[in-house]
Amino acid sequence: MATTTQPLRGKTTCKKIFWAVFPHACFIVSLVIYAFLGALMFSHIEGTREVTVSEEYRKFLKNLTSLARNLSDNVTENEKMFKNNIRELFNTADPVWFINPEDRWNFFGSLFFCCTVFTTVGYGNTYPVTRIGKYLCMVYALFGIPLMFLVLTDMGDILATVLSKSYNEFRKIQSKILASKLCSGSTCSKRNELKPRAQSKIVINEPLTIMEVLRSQTGMKRRRVKYRNVELFEMLIARENENTQPARNKSMERWSSCPELAREKTVSRVIENFDKIGKELEKLDVPFVLMVLVIFVYISCAAAILPNWEKNMDFQEAFYFCFITLTTIGFGDTKLEHPKFFLFFSLYIMIGMEIVFIAFKLGQDRLIVLYKKVISFCAEKNMPSKKIYPK
């Protein structure tokens, strides 16, 4: 019997793990497929567009050549005027004129653009030009942004669980260390001696049957009625628990014998896992300073790695770029020379955005508590003081 039950238990535990991981994997796989489909779509639409020389571009080139001819090498007074004219002329220029669509909108460039769309970063240096591309970008963002927020919420539960458990374990270790320092040897030994005595009074070694309980009533007549009723109640509860144990095995056999009921049970478990999304994130309560420290360390690690392939960045510039990216500000002032290398950081971006989101939520909760304290303090101050009249 033991050899047959062990494989069944192994299969049931594997199924439980699979259905517990299934919602998280489903969201991430859906987002990855959505990003790849968007990359194929935009690379086909924007990468294959025809490049036409417009009248504005020709006018820009004529003005640029005329300014270059009017500039004389010997006269220095015209340099200031030349710089102002050049600045005004380049402000009217369209960046699309200087971009090759096939180079910008290849598969990796389109994938990078899709990531900036549904993460709401939007650097601004890559954007659709064709009318069909603009319409499809709106539709793509309309469905991609909620999917991204769903993934962030789901990953937030995992991060919140890890942070809360690690923080609670740290507090337990800290309290144990403080307790060992404060606790003297005499008091601790006395408490340890008293603990097994207190436990021995509560433990019921063997549950008795109803007949044994009735037979033992003759020996209990000498005791008080209060203690006899308590012991009878405890024995009956123990016996009831023993009777309910085989019923569970029968129910398990019934579930295994009927696959439709087992399927319904697994489906209900999966639906319960979907309903639990976002619950752990609401329960998270860690110090805000700790989250700020985690964000600083997290961004610093990426800022130390990013300049290895982005040669135009140092540590400070990379730290600024990662902060602007994870907070979804996305100014677009810092451009990447190798966007496809940054795509390997997609998991880093998702986890970092979730950490920043958790920090913002904790900061929001702290601000709400602060506003409540300020309002209650002002209300108590403005309330008229009660005058006590003598009798």
Higher pLDDT, 162 or 239: 162
Tell me 99's DSSP state. Answer: -
What percentage of residues in the chain have a pLDDT greater than 90? 17
Q: Is the dihedral of CA 180, 183, 184, 185 positive or negative?
A: negative
Mean residue pLDDT of the chain comes to 75
- Where is average pLDDT lowest: 15-29, 31-45, 300-314? 15-29
pLDDT at site 54 = 79
pLDDT at site 142 = 95
pLDDT at site 7 = 57
pLDDT at site 122 = 85
DSSP 257-276: H-HHHHHHHHHHHHHHHHHT
Whose structure tokens read 């985690």? Answer: 294
Expressed in angstroms, the distance from the first to the final Cα of the chain is 86
Candidates 124, 175, 165; CA nearest to 332 is: 124
What percentage of residues in the chain have a pLDDT greater than 70? 64
Task: Give the contacts of 121 (CB within 8 A, at least 6 positions apart).
Answer: 115, 325, 328, 329, 330
Q: What's the whole-number mean pLDDT along residues 239-260? A: 51
